Amino acid sequence: MLRGIPKCLNPDLIKVIWEMGHGDKLVLADAYYPSASTAKRNGSILVRCDGVRNTEVLDAILQFMPLDTSVEKPALIMDLQDCDRGKVETPVWEEYKKIVCKYDPRGLDCIGMIERFAFYEAAKDAYAVVATGETSLYGCMILQKGTE
């Protein structure tokens, strides 16, 4: 047993975060995202965190992993498709923003929105995909690791 490590950070996820280098990307995938096929197709590592919300995983990761300061938006949230605007509520986005602001001094300035299919494209070069139990629609994020 180790102390001070959030329980949602399983050994596989800790290993992945440790291995990642500056600029590497980590996808935090909701329960609807094609995590396994994305990781397999792109040669990324798949880490399972079933039954855990992305908010919990995000908060735990950012306690240990800095966001990249050499890019403008190292935290990207999957944005709505035009067909879902005005139809789908996304309260989880506010939770994500609060968590990122807690750990990164740039606050909201380091958070960007990325359309669903552009998100899939950006995820192609992710180091790892974390499959969670997040059930919020459009509940996916990409984090880019920094150095400090």
**Active site members:** 22, 68, 120
Strands 25-29 and 45-49: unpaired
Of 128, 31, 22, 12, residue with least CA distance to 69: 22
Longest dimension (CA), the chain: 47
Q: Give how far Cα 140 sits from Cα of 57, 130, 131, 147, Å.
A: 12, 10, 10, 23
